Structure 1
Amino acid sequence: MAVGGNAIRGTRVGSGPMGEQDHGYHADRIAVSYWDALGNETVRYFAAGLPEDEIPEIIDHPHSGLPAGRDKDNPPQLAKNEPYKTHLAYVKERRTDAEAEELLDEALQKLRERRGL
């Protein structure tokens, strides 16, 4: 077994000398801070030439999952979660009881005609 180590193990092909800090051109960027309702801060980086209207006002905080905004004193509040609705609940929102009765009667009539009753 060799006593020395392998000098290239764990390095990328063409990576240059170990410890080299400059691995190419880094574009100018700006740091934008976002805060959630719990006061947690997260920073996102955007290209320096990006127009202000393309930088999002609200993001999801990566740790808390809450919405985070750019105003530290006024963070966005969590929208009220609506409970899960079944397909039937959505249908009941669209139809009145009278319409439901009418549709049921039509469907039963068609079924009776097909069966010869």
Structure 2
Amino acid sequence: MLHSASGFRGIRVGATEGAAPRHEPLDGGAVRTPRIRIIYLCGKGHETTLVFAQLPDDQIPGVWDCRRCGGTATRDEAQFALEDTPADGFKSHLEYVKERRSSQDAEDVLAGALERLRARRGLPEG
């Protein structure tokens, strides 16, 4: 039998209010983890602000995906150069599919899917 007061419970980093383990009091007994805000800027000027636990600088990512355009954003352009990033930028799922398949392949896949669908529903070809 599984007991409802399980010892395993998820707690966010830095959370104190209502998230303390059952054996700790909620009146400041939990230790608040220090946090820092990091700002990332992409090539289009979009700003992404993230909150991290206060870690050594080398453990915080230097690059992050932009939330608005999907491009690569950096904390510091001089320190985190983007030479190895693709020049194409963000690609949609459809663009990746088009790289793998030709137009003829797409027509063949569509025709096969329609044929199976018609066979399952008992519809005539055409």
Structure 1 length-normalised TM? 0.43
Choose between structure 1 and 2 for higher RCO, CA contacts under 8 A separated by at least 6 residues.
1
Structure 2 length-normalised TM? 0.40
Q: Which has the larger radius of gyration?
A: 1
